[in-house]
């Protein structure tokens, strides 16, 4: 369980730290609406994600004896999801290495509909958010179901904690009048995160090919097995 949560935390952290709409809102709203504006943004973001996770978990729970144990289905999810992870990781690593990944260059966006609604709307309007949750998380949610609702809840909390920490931290810094994260530190953190995503992505793709070739579903994502043992 700890291995699963640790792996998912690292992947979640890579996504949370990447520059995006909510990151720019947190930076902009810190001085405008106070140091805790990032918390309210992350709350809205978490509400959207919580509903999405619940839907995915319900679908997997209802079909866990058939759908994801089919080598073709599991293989394609692993292949496509792994390809997406690898693409994200490569892009992050290259951009960080070439000094193209910064926070200062992001265009500020305002929370015109209130902080919590903005957290929800910006999440739902981000196509990468939909792709990430649809292709990557089913593999982890499927494994967490062996611990029932507790496992799914812990997986969600681990992921949401990265969003809360990052968005709240950014808004707190800008709202307090401090400088943002040191560019050199941010660059190296994103380089490591990108390399980790690339590693996981290639691993997923290899597992997907194995599913399709052998006709057996058995993917280790942290602890335990993804497949027929969890029934």
Say which residue the tokens 């073709």 belong to: 72
Contact 41, 190 (CB under 8 A): no
Residue 151 has pLDDT above 70, yes or no: yes
Helix 37-62 × helix 148-175 angle, to 10°: 160
CA dist 172 and 156 (Å) reads 24
Mind listing the pLDDT tens digit for each residue in 179-215? 666 777 767 776 776 787 788 778 778 878 887 888 7
User: 85-95 burial, b if ≥16 CB within 10 A, otherwise e?
Assistant: bbebbbbbbeb
Alpha carbon 63 to its chain centroid, in Å, reads 23
CA dist 231 and 228 (Å) reads 6
Q: What three-state secondary structure class fits 107? A: coil
Contact 141, 53 (CB under 8 A): yes
| Average pLDDT value for the chain | 75
pLDDT score recorded for residue 179? 60
Measured at the alpha carbon of residue 89, what is the angle toward residues 153 and 56, in degrees to the nearest 5? Answer: 30
100 torsion bin: left (phi>0), alpha (psi -120 to 50), beta (else) = alpha
Mind listing the pLDDT tens digit for each residue in 68-103? 567 777 777 778 777 876 887 788 788 878 877 665
Distances in Å between the alpha carbon of 94 and those of 88, 99, 107, 205? 10, 9, 21, 20
CA dist 110 and 113 (Å) reads 9
């Amino acid at each position: 369980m700890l291995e699963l949560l640790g792996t998912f935390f690292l992947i979640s952290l890579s996504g949370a730290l990447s520059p995006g709409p909510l990151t720019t809102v947190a930076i902009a709203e810190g001085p405008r609406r106070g140091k805790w504006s990032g918390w309210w943004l992350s709350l809205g973001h978490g509400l959207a994600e919580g509903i999405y996770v619940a839907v995915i978990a319900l679908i997997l729970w209802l079909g866990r004896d058939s759908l994801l144990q089919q080598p073709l289905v599991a293989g394609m999810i692993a292949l496509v999801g792994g390809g997406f992870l690898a693409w994200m990781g490569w892009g992050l690593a290259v951009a960080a290495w070439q000094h193209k990944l910064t926070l200062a260059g992001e265009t500020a966006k305002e929370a015109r509909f209130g902080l919590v609604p903005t957290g929800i709307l910006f999440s739902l309007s981000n196509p990468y958010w939909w792709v990430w949750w649809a292709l990557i998380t089913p593999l982890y949610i499927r494994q967490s179901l062996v611990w029932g609702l507790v496992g799914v809840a812990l997986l969600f909390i681990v992921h949401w904690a990265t969003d809360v920490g990052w968005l709240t931290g950014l808004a707190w810094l800008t709202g307090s009048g401090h400088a943002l994260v040191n560019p050199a530190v941010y660059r190296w953190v994103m380089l490591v995160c990108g390399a980790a995503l690339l590693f996981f992505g290639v691993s997923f793709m290899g597992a997907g090919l194995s599913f399709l070739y052998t006709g057996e579903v058995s993917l280790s994502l942290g602890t335990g097995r993804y497949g027929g043992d969890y029934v």
